[in-house]
Amino acid sequence: MELQLQIKMNEKLFLRNPEQTELGKKIILHSIFLIHKNGFEAFTFKKLADDIGTTEASIYRYFENKHRLLIYITAWYWNWLEYQVTVHTKNITDPALKLKRVIRLLATTVEDDIKTSYVNENILHQIIIAEGTKAYLTKQVTENNKDQLFKPYKDLCAKISSVILEYNPEYKFPKSLSSTIIEMAHFQNFFMYNLPSLTDFGNTKDESKIISFLEDLVFSSIKKL
Protein backbone atom coordinates (compact mmCIF):
# COMPACT_ATOMS: atom_id res chain seq x y z
CA MET A 1 0.00 0.00 0.00
CA GLU A 2 1.26 3.44 -0.92
CA LEU A 3 0.69 6.18 1.57
CA GLN A 4 -0.71 9.25 -0.11
CA LEU A 5 -1.02 12.50 1.74
CA GLN A 6 -4.06 14.34 0.47
CA ILE A 7 -4.39 17.83 1.80
CA LYS A 8 -7.99 18.95 1.91
CA MET A 9 -8.17 22.39 0.36
CA ASN A 10 -10.83 25.05 0.72
CA GLU A 11 -13.22 24.87 -2.24
CA LYS A 12 -13.07 28.61 -2.79
CA LEU A 13 -9.40 28.43 -3.68
CA PHE A 14 -10.15 27.07 -7.14
CA LEU A 15 -12.84 26.78 -9.79
CA ARG A 16 -12.10 23.10 -10.36
CA ASN A 17 -10.10 20.99 -7.93
CA PRO A 18 -6.62 20.59 -9.43
CA GLU A 19 -5.80 17.58 -7.27
CA GLN A 20 -8.47 15.49 -8.94
CA THR A 21 -7.24 15.50 -12.53
CA GLU A 22 -4.00 14.96 -14.38
CA LEU A 23 -4.12 18.40 -15.94
CA GLY A 24 -4.82 19.94 -12.55
CA LYS A 25 -1.74 18.32 -11.04
CA LYS A 26 0.33 19.44 -14.00
CA ILE A 27 -0.89 23.00 -13.47
CA ILE A 28 0.33 22.97 -9.87
CA LEU A 29 3.60 21.23 -10.69
CA HIS A 30 4.53 23.43 -13.63
CA SER A 31 3.37 26.67 -12.05
CA ILE A 32 5.66 26.01 -9.11
CA PHE A 33 8.60 25.53 -11.46
CA LEU A 34 7.76 28.55 -13.58
CA ILE A 35 7.15 30.92 -10.67
CA HIS A 36 10.38 29.75 -9.12
CA LYS A 37 12.26 30.24 -12.37
CA ASN A 38 10.98 33.63 -13.51
CA GLY A 39 9.21 35.10 -10.50
CA PHE A 40 5.53 35.71 -9.98
CA GLU A 41 5.39 38.98 -11.92
CA ALA A 42 6.68 37.39 -15.11
CA PHE A 43 4.47 34.35 -14.68
CA THR A 44 1.44 34.14 -17.00
CA PHE A 45 -1.16 31.51 -17.78
CA LYS A 46 -0.08 31.64 -21.42
CA LYS A 47 3.49 30.67 -20.52
CA LEU A 48 2.19 28.02 -18.13
CA ALA A 49 -0.06 26.59 -20.85
CA ASP A 50 2.82 26.45 -23.33
CA ASP A 51 5.00 24.80 -20.71
CA ILE A 52 2.39 22.15 -19.97
CA GLY A 53 1.34 21.76 -23.57
CA THR A 54 -2.22 22.84 -23.02
CA THR A 55 -4.15 26.06 -23.57
CA GLU A 56 -4.78 29.17 -21.51
CA ALA A 57 -8.51 28.50 -21.57
CA SER A 58 -8.00 25.10 -19.94
CA ILE A 59 -6.07 26.64 -17.07
CA TYR A 60 -8.72 29.29 -16.55
CA ARG A 61 -11.14 26.47 -15.87
CA TYR A 62 -9.14 25.65 -12.75
CA PHE A 63 -8.16 29.06 -11.45
CA GLU A 64 -9.77 32.46 -11.83
CA ASN A 65 -6.40 34.14 -12.32
CA LYS A 66 -2.76 33.84 -11.43
CA HIS A 67 -3.18 35.52 -8.07
CA ARG A 68 -5.72 32.89 -7.01
CA LEU A 69 -3.25 30.24 -8.08
CA LEU A 70 -0.62 31.87 -5.87
CA ILE A 71 -3.01 31.86 -2.94
CA TYR A 72 -3.72 28.20 -3.62
CA ILE A 73 -0.04 27.34 -3.66
CA THR A 74 0.70 29.25 -0.47
CA ALA A 75 -2.33 27.72 1.26
CA TRP A 76 -1.14 24.30 0.22
CA TYR A 77 2.29 25.08 1.66
CA TRP A 78 0.96 26.29 5.01
CA ASN A 79 -1.29 23.26 5.27
CA TRP A 80 1.62 21.00 4.55
CA LEU A 81 3.85 22.84 7.01
CA GLU A 82 1.30 22.61 9.77
CA TYR A 83 1.13 18.90 9.11
CA GLN A 84 4.93 18.73 9.36
CA VAL A 85 4.82 20.60 12.64
CA THR A 86 2.19 18.24 13.98
CA VAL A 87 4.18 15.18 13.02
CA HIS A 88 7.52 16.45 14.27
CA THR A 89 6.25 17.64 17.65
CA LYS A 90 3.85 14.79 18.33
CA ASN A 91 5.71 12.98 21.05
CA ILE A 92 7.53 15.93 22.53
CA THR A 93 6.26 17.16 25.85
CA ASP A 94 8.82 19.85 26.58
CA PRO A 95 7.45 23.07 25.01
CA ALA A 96 10.95 24.51 24.63
CA LEU A 97 11.98 21.56 22.54
CA LYS A 98 8.74 21.82 20.58
CA LEU A 99 9.43 25.46 19.80
CA LYS A 100 12.93 24.65 18.62
CA ARG A 101 11.55 22.02 16.30
CA VAL A 102 9.02 24.49 14.94
CA ILE A 103 11.68 27.12 14.31
CA ARG A 104 13.82 24.58 12.54
CA LEU A 105 10.93 23.50 10.32
CA LEU A 106 10.15 27.11 9.47
CA ALA A 107 13.69 28.15 8.68
CA THR A 108 15.16 25.08 7.04
CA THR A 109 15.07 24.14 3.42
CA VAL A 110 13.01 21.02 3.47
CA GLU A 111 13.75 17.68 1.93
CA ASP A 112 11.38 16.57 -0.77
CA ASP A 113 8.44 14.75 0.76
CA ILE A 114 7.71 11.63 -1.23
CA LYS A 115 4.20 11.47 0.15
CA THR A 116 3.08 14.30 -2.09
CA SER A 117 4.57 13.15 -5.32
CA TYR A 118 3.55 15.96 -7.58
CA VAL A 119 4.84 18.80 -5.41
CA ASN A 120 8.50 19.62 -4.90
CA GLU A 121 8.51 21.04 -1.38
CA ASN A 122 12.01 22.40 -1.60
CA ILE A 123 11.28 24.65 -4.56
CA LEU A 124 7.93 25.46 -3.00
CA HIS A 125 9.74 26.67 0.10
CA GLN A 126 11.80 29.04 -1.99
CA ILE A 127 8.69 30.35 -3.72
CA ILE A 128 7.02 31.05 -0.41
CA ILE A 129 10.10 32.98 0.72
CA ALA A 130 10.10 35.26 -2.31
CA GLU A 131 6.42 35.39 -3.26
CA GLY A 132 4.43 34.23 -0.24
CA THR A 133 3.55 37.65 1.14
CA LYS A 134 2.17 38.72 -2.23
CA ALA A 135 -0.74 36.37 -1.61
CA TYR A 136 -2.14 38.69 1.04
CA LEU A 137 -0.47 42.07 0.41
CA THR A 138 -3.27 43.18 -1.89
CA LYS A 139 -6.39 45.31 -1.90
CA GLN A 140 -8.52 42.15 -1.94
CA VAL A 141 -7.10 40.83 1.32
CA THR A 142 -10.26 41.42 3.36
CA GLU A 143 -12.51 39.84 0.75
CA ASN A 144 -10.16 36.88 0.35
CA ASN A 145 -9.91 36.53 4.09
CA LYS A 146 -13.71 36.32 4.35
CA ASP A 147 -13.54 33.36 1.98
CA GLN A 148 -11.10 31.78 4.46
CA LEU A 149 -8.34 31.63 1.88
CA PHE A 150 -5.68 32.38 4.49
CA LYS A 151 -6.97 29.90 7.05
CA PRO A 152 -3.97 27.54 6.72
CA TYR A 153 -1.58 30.41 7.51
CA LYS A 154 -3.70 31.52 10.44
CA ASP A 155 -4.02 27.96 11.73
CA LEU A 156 -0.27 27.52 11.71
CA CYS A 157 0.15 30.82 13.50
CA ALA A 158 -2.42 29.79 16.11
CA LYS A 159 -0.68 26.46 16.60
CA ILE A 160 2.71 28.04 17.19
CA SER A 161 1.08 30.59 19.42
CA SER A 162 -0.34 27.81 21.59
CA VAL A 163 3.10 26.24 21.97
CA ILE A 164 4.40 29.61 23.09
CA LEU A 165 1.67 29.82 25.71
CA GLU A 166 2.48 26.29 26.81
CA TYR A 167 5.99 27.46 27.51
CA ASN A 168 4.90 30.67 29.22
CA PRO A 169 1.17 31.25 29.79
CA GLU A 170 1.92 34.80 30.90
CA TYR A 171 3.49 35.96 27.66
CA LYS A 172 1.55 38.90 26.26
CA PHE A 173 2.09 38.62 22.50
CA PRO A 174 1.95 34.97 21.43
CA LYS A 175 0.24 35.56 18.08
CA SER A 176 2.37 38.51 17.06
CA LEU A 177 5.48 36.61 18.02
CA SER A 178 4.28 33.66 15.96
CA SER A 179 3.65 35.70 12.85
CA THR A 180 6.99 37.40 13.45
CA ILE A 181 8.97 34.16 13.48
CA ILE A 182 7.06 32.79 10.50
CA GLU A 183 7.76 35.87 8.41
CA MET A 184 11.29 36.34 9.67
CA ALA A 185 12.23 32.74 8.99
CA HIS A 186 11.58 33.67 5.38
CA PHE A 187 12.73 37.27 5.22
CA GLN A 188 16.06 36.61 6.90
CA ASN A 189 16.63 33.85 4.37
CA PHE A 190 15.77 36.15 1.48
CA PHE A 191 17.96 38.89 2.90
CA MET A 192 20.85 36.53 3.55
CA TYR A 193 20.98 35.50 -0.11
CA ASN A 194 19.89 38.75 -1.76
CA LEU A 195 20.46 41.73 0.52
CA PRO A 196 23.04 40.33 2.90
CA SER A 197 23.83 43.58 4.71
CA LEU A 198 20.37 43.42 6.27
CA THR A 199 21.46 40.35 8.22
CA ASP A 200 24.33 39.15 10.38
CA PHE A 201 24.97 36.05 8.28
CA GLY A 202 25.55 37.51 4.86
CA ASN A 203 29.02 36.13 4.28
CA THR A 204 28.37 32.70 5.69
CA LYS A 205 25.08 31.88 3.91
CA ASP A 206 24.50 29.50 6.75
CA GLU A 207 20.85 28.77 7.38
CA SER A 208 21.54 27.43 10.84
CA LYS A 209 22.46 30.98 11.89
CA ILE A 210 18.94 32.08 11.08
CA ILE A 211 17.76 29.39 13.45
CA SER A 212 20.12 30.69 16.15
CA PHE A 213 18.82 34.20 15.66
CA LEU A 214 15.19 33.14 15.85
CA GLU A 215 15.74 30.92 18.88
CA ASP A 216 17.51 33.75 20.65
CA LEU A 217 14.70 36.15 19.72
CA VAL A 218 11.92 33.82 20.81
CA PHE A 219 13.38 32.48 24.02
CA SER A 220 14.59 35.79 25.36
CA SER A 221 11.12 37.20 24.70
CA ILE A 222 9.11 34.46 26.35
CA LYS A 223 11.51 33.60 29.13
CA LYS A 224 9.87 33.45 32.51
CA LEU A 225 11.49 35.68 35.07
Residue ranges binding DNA (CB under 7 A): 16, 21-24, 42, 44-47, 53-58, 60-61, 64-67
**Binding partner of 45, given DNA, a second copy, none, CB within 5-8 angstroms per partner class:** DNA
* Alpha carbon distance 20, 43 (integer Å): 24
C-beta closer to DNA: residue 64 or 206: 64
Nearer to DNA, 50 or 207 (CB): 50
| Residue 53 interacting partner from a second copy, DNA, none (CB closer than 5 to 8 Å by kind) | DNA
- CB of 19 or CB of 183, closer to a second copy: 183
Q: Are 23 and 58 in contact (CB under 8 A)?
A: yes
Whole-angstrom Cα distance, residue 20 to residue 113? 20
Residues that bind a second copy (CB under 8 A): 38-39, 41-42, 67, 130-131, 133-134, 136-139, 141-142, 145, 150, 153-154, 157-158, 172-180, 183-184, 187-188, 190-191, 194-195, 197-201, 210, 212-213, 216-217, 220-221, 223
Residue among 17, 11, 51, 21 nearest 34 (CA): 51
Contact between residue 115 and residue 5 where contact means Cβ atoms under 8 Å apart: yes
What ranges make up the beta strands (E) of 105-181? none
Measured from the CB atom, is 35 or 182 closer to DNA? 35
174 sits in which H/E element: helix 174-194
- Do 17 and 7 form a contact (C-beta atoms < 8 A)? no
Backbone angles phi, psi at 54, to 5 degrees: -130, -160
Rounded least distance, CB 93 to a second copy, Å: 25
Q: Could you tell me the smallest distance in angstroms from the CB atom of residue 202 to a second copy? A: 8
Residue 14 or 201 having the CB closest to a second copy: 201
What is the C-alpha to C-alpha distance for residues 67 and 124, in angstroms, rounded to an integer?
A: 16
162 binds, among DNA, a second copy, none (CB under 5 to 8 A by kind): none
